[in-house]
Structure 1
Amino acid sequence: MPGGIFHISGPIKVVIGACALIGTYMVQDYYFTYTADAYVSADVVLVAPEISGFVTEVPVDRNKQIGAGQLLMQIDPEPFALSVQEARADEAKALANLRTAEAEVQVAEAAITAAVAKVSNFAAKQQRFEELTDNGFVTQQRLDNITLSLEEANAETDGARDTLRAATHQVEVMRSNYDAMRAATALAQYNLRKSSLLSPVDGVVSEYTVNPGNYVLEGIPQLALITNRNWRIVANIVERHAARLKPGQTVWFQVSSDPYRIHKGTVRSIGRGISRSITDPRVLPYIPLTTDWIRLSQRFPVEIDMGELLEDHKPMHGGDARIFLVH
C-alpha cells in the first residue's frame, strides 16, 4: 500500500462487481415488478344459433358497432313456420278430443242420475208392494217383478259409475295430450323466433366466416361480439411477485395501441389458481411455462383496471401491454 493508497486487486474487483450486480438485481427484483407478458381484454360474447338451418342473411358488417337486439343472422324461417302450423293443427285436434271426452263425462253423469232415480222409484215400489202383498192385495209375482227391476236398476247404476270413471280417466289422458300439444306449439313458435339471431349485447362484431347459404348447427358459435364493458389488462406475473400484490395497488402500464404514453391503473384482482397442464379441464386458466425453449417461472394472471385511459382511447381486445409497479 505505497503512498497510503489502498490498492484493490483484479480478482477482488470482479467479486465486488459481481456482488454489486447481484445486490442490484435482488433489490430491483424485490421492489419492482415488470412484465411484457400482458394484454388488453374485454368481455367477449360468442353468439351461437339455438336451431340448425340454412343461413339466408347476415346483415351486419365486420368490425362495426351494433346495439343489443339488432339482427345478426337470419336462418331460413320457412321450415319452422311450417312446424308452427303443424303444431297448431295437432293442438286443435287435441282440444277437440278433450272436448269430446268432457262431453262423455257429462253423458255418464246424466246416466248415473237417471239410474239413481230408477233405484229410488223401484225401492219405494218394493216397500209398498211388500205391505200390499202381506195384506193380500198384490200377488207375490208382482212383488218379485218389482224386486227384479230394483236389482236391474242397481246394476245399471253400477255400470253408469264405471262408465263415468272410464270417461273421467279419458278426460285426464286427453287433457295431458292437449297440454303436450300446447307445449309443442310453444316450442315451435320459440324455434321460429330463434331463426332470427339477435345480438344479446352492445358491442363490435368481430371477423366472421358465416355467409348466406351456409348450414349452421345448433350451439356452434358463428360470430363473436367484443362488448364495451369490463375493459382490463391481464398481466401474467411471476409467482413470487403476484403473491405480494394487493387489490387497489397502483400500476403503470403501456398499451401498443397508444405506445407513447404511460397510464396509471390499479390492481383489480390476483389469480389464485391456474391449470398446470393444457389437458386439464379449462375452468382454470393455463399459462405456458416455455417460450422459445426457455423454461419460465410459473406466472399467475393479474387483472388491472385501465383507469382514465378508457375516457379518450379505444383499446383493442387482445392487444399487447406492458406493466410496471413498485412494491
Structure 2
Amino acid sequence: MKKYLLTIIVVIAASVVAYKYYLHNQQNPWTRDGQIRAQVVQITPRVTGEITALNVYENRQVEKGELLFEIDRKPYELALNKAKAANAQAAAVLSKAKNEMQRAKGLEARSPGAVATLDLNNYQYAVDSATADFLASKAAVDDAELNLSYTQVFAPANGFITNLRHHVGAQVVANSAVVALIDEDSFWVEGFFKETDLMGVKAKQEASVTLLSNSRDTLSGVVESVGHGIAKSDGSTGNELLPNVNPSFQWIRLAQRIPVRIKLTQLPQDIELRVGTTASVQIHK
C-alpha cells in the first residue's frame, strides 16, 4: 500500500506542477522562435573611383564619423579646378557686360537719343545672359566641391563592419553598396508567437529573453510593438497565372506566427549580440 500511495502522490505532484506550468505559459506567452535583429546600414559611396586608403577590416568596431575609406581624389580635384576656371571666366564676361551697359546708360543720360532703345535692350539681355552663365558656373563649382568631399566615406553610426570584400586598388561605383555596417545602438529581439498566444499582448509589457548562445543569463526587455500583418502563403500567382494553393489537412489548422518586437532594457557587458542568432522570448502579461 505504501508503494502505491507513494506512486499516487508523485503522480499528483507531477500533475500539479504540469498544470501550473501550463497556466503560466497560457498567461505568459513563450516562444523559442526568436531572433536578434539590428539596423544594417549599407555603406554606399556617392562617387566612382579607386580605393586609395582603407582604414577598416572585417568585423572591426567603428565609431560614428570615423573615416572608413578614401577614393582617388585626383579626378575630382581636376574637375573642381576646371569648374573654378569656368566660373572665373563667367565672372569676367558678366563684369564686361555690366560695364558696357553702364556706359550706354551714362551716354543716354547725358545725351538723350544718343543710344538706340534696341541697343539698350541688347545690353540688358547681355547682362542677364552673363548673370545666368555665372550662376550656372558657380553651381558647377559647388557640385565639384561636393563630389570631392564624397571621396572620403565616413561611418554614419556606431557599429561593426561586416562582409568587407574590397581592398586598396579596388574600383567602387557610385550608388553601389561596398560594405555593411551593423548599427550597435539599434539591436532588438523579434519573437514569432502563435496567433493564439497574442490575446492581451500589447506594448510596454515586460518580457524575458534567453539567448541560445548564453542560456545562463536572462535578459530583461519590454514589448515595443506587435506585428499587424504577415505575407500570405496561399493565393500567390503560380504557373500560367493560376493561384498557388498548398494542400492542407482539413482537421488541422496551424496557427500563424506573428512577429513581436522586444526592446532590451538590460544587457550585461560580457554579452555581445549578433544579428540572426536565436533567442527564446516570454512575455509577462
TM-score range, shorter chain: 0.7 to 0.9
Aligned counterpart, 2:46? 50
Larger Rg: 1
Which of 59, 65, 70 is residue 63 of structure 1 equivalent to? 59
* Structure 1 residue 95: Cα displacement: 0.6
Query: What is the Cα-based RMSD across aligned positions, in Å?
Result: 2.7
Which AA in structure 1 matches 2:100?
A: E
Distance 1:300 1:24 in 2: 26
Q: Distance between the aligned counterparts of 1:25 and 1:228, measured in 2? A: 36
Aligned ranges for residues 186-201 of structure 1 at < 5 Å? Answer: 186-201=142-157
TM-score, L = length of structure 1: 0.70
1:103 equivalenced with 2:99 (yes/no)? yes
Query: Which among 200, 214, 230 is matched to residue 258 of structure 1?
Result: 214
Cα distance per residue 1:221-254 (max 9 Å; x no partner): 1122222213211112222323531112222221
Q: Percent identity?
A: 27
Deviation at 1:205?
Answer: 1.4
Q: Which runs of 5+ in 1 are unaligned?
A: 1-22, 117-153, 281-289
Q: Which has the higher strand share?
A: 2
SS at match of 1:309: coil
Deviations 1:43-68 (A, max 9, x none): 22211001111222221122122122
Number of the residue aligned with 2:258: 300
Residue 99 of structure 1: SS of its match in structure 2? helix
1:79-98 to 2 correspondences below 5 Å: 79-98=75-94
Alignment of 1:1-327 (within 5 A): 30-116=26-112, 154=113, 156-157=114-115, 159=116, 161-276=117-232, 297-327=255-285
- Write 1 or 2 for the structure with the bigger share of helix: 1
Distance in 1 (CA, whole Å) between partners of 2:176 and 2:253 is 36
1:83 deviates by 0.4
Q: Which runs of 5+ in 2 are unaligned?
A: 1-18, 237-245, 247-251
Post-superposition Cα deviations, 1:15-66, rounded to whole Å, max 9, x if no partner, equal xxxxxxxx99996774342222211122222110011112222211221221
Determine if contact 1:52/1:218 at 8 Å carries over to the other structure. yes
TM-score by length of 2: 0.79
Q: How far apart are 1:295 and its partner, in Å?
A: 9.2
**Displacement after TM superposition at 1:310 (Å):** 4.6
Task: Report the secondary structure of 1:209's partner residue.
Answer: coil
